[in-house]
Each structure stands twice: as C-alpha cells, then as structure tokens.
Amino acid sequence: MPSSSSRAGNRPRSRAAAGLPAVTAEKVVDAAVALTAERGLDNWTLRQLAAAVDAYPAVIYHHVGDRDAVVAAVLDRVVGLLSLPEEDLPWQDWFAELLADLRTVLRAHPGTARRLVLFGPSVSAAVRTIDRGVGVLLAAGFREESVLAYNLLVATACQFVAMEDDRDSSLALRLDNTEEYATYHDRTDLPGMAAQGRAMRELMADPELAVGWYARLYDYAVRRCVDGLAHRLAELEAEPRA
C-alpha cells in the first residue's frame, strides 16, 4: 500500500506540471467580473471564485486578497469600462451621454451600483472620470460647486441603478404592488393615486412599455437633475464675482 509520502511524490508540483494555466491577479479579477455579471456582486463566494480559476481559495488570497479586496478590484474594473464622451460637448450633453453609458455598464454587473454609491471606486480608478467630469463642469462655470454638481449627478444615477437591481430580485412583490396600484385607476376621490393607477395599468397592458419603465425613470431623473443644475448655473453667472 503506497504511503502518504509516496502519493505526495506522484502529485504534480506546479500548475504547469498539472497542465493548468498560471493564476494571476488579472485572471482572478476577470473571473470575479464574469461571476458578477452572471450572478450579481453579492451572490458569489471566494470558494466559487477559486473554482472558476481552478485553484484553491488560498490562491485568491495570495494574488488579490480577501473578498473585500476582490470586490474593490471588480468595482475598479467596471468603472474602467465607462466610455468618456468627447470633451467639446456642452456639459448637459456630456453628462447625458456619460450617465447613459453608466447605466448600461452597471446594469450588466448587478450590485456594483450600490457599492459605488456607498464607497466609490479606488482613487486610481476614479481619476479618469472625475478629472474629466469635474473639468467639464469647471469649464461650464460651476466654479467651486463643480465637485458637488459632479457627485450629485453620479450618485443619483448610481442610486437609481441600485434600486433597479434590487427590484429585479423582488419581482413577485413588484408585480403584486403594480397590480394593487392599478386598482386605483378610477378613484375620483384620490386623483393622485388614480393617475398612478392609470400609469400602472398601462405598464401591465404593454410589455414593451413595462420593460422600458426603469430606463425612462432613470433618464427622467438624470435630465431633471441636469435641469436643476442648469438653473443653478444661471444663478452663478448672475452673481458678481468676488
């Protein structure tokens, strides 16, 4: 009967000897991003990530760190997927384009929006977007309020995507609520609820309209924030400079 030492002697001493590709930090993050796209950021474990790269969890710790470190790397990678608009666009159009792409990227990686709005990406990952975005607002005339305006727009966008992610995981409750709201469509004593009820009836009657509801809500929120900032910019332009 072979001893444990003889079994160990027959075991491949490296991944290369076993015919396995080398594990790198980049490959670990690649796999974590893929799992996030498939399951959501909060719905995979380090053990599952290790299995995805055909390694032990200790290998993940060695190359990247604990789960929080991997999540931070995923957020940085996702932020890096954003396409920045051309700098010569008017600031309203620049942010409309940026935030439309932001929703597309974040919705493709469920759970990242919530983490980003709470903690943001690393500074190194944020430099490209913040420098360009705040720079656009500085050039538009927002002055010292440019940082506040930038964060208002990005945080609002992330919050609406996070809400959409969360509602996807509670589909049954969302449908029940929609149906209950729809019952108020003809309540003349409650005109506000009646308007809400009619809107919900329209969603229930038209699947295409229902599918696009959150995209419309997101776009409305972004554009109304931009409108508010445009009004504030007019006030700043009217103020005498110190």
Q: What is the pLDDT of residues 164-193, one digit of tens each?
A: 998 876 655 566 688 888 999 999 999 999
More confident residue, 195 or 213: 195
> Which has the minimum average pLDDT: 108-112, 123-127, 172-176, 220-224?
172-176
Residue 17 has pLDDT above 60, yes or no: no
Whole-model pTM: value is 0.85
What domains can be seen in the chain, in order of their start residue?
A: 4-78 (1.10.10.60), 88-169+212-238 (1.10.357)
Q: Is the dihedral of CA 140, 143, 149, 154 positive or negative?
A: positive
d(CA 188, CA 104): 39
In the block, tokens 């990678």 appear at 77
Task: Render pLDDT for 134-148 as a digit per residue (tens, 0 to 9).
Answer: 999 999 999 999 999
User: Mind listing the pLDDT tens digit for each residue in 121-170?
Assistant: 999 999 999 999 999 999 999 999 999 999 999 999 999 999 999 887 66
Which of the two residues, 70 and 17, has the higher pLDDT score?
70
**pLDDT at residue 217, as a whole number:** 92
> Which residue is listed with tokens 């943001």?
120
Q: Say how many CA atoms lie within 13 Å of 141 toward its Cβ.
A: 15
Pair 111, 165: CB distance under 8 Å? yes
- On average, the pLDDT of the chain sits at 89
Widest Cα–Cα separation across the chain: 92
pLDDT at 177: 80
* Cβ-proximal residues to 40 (8 Å cutoff; 6+ apart), any chain: 110, 111, 165, 169
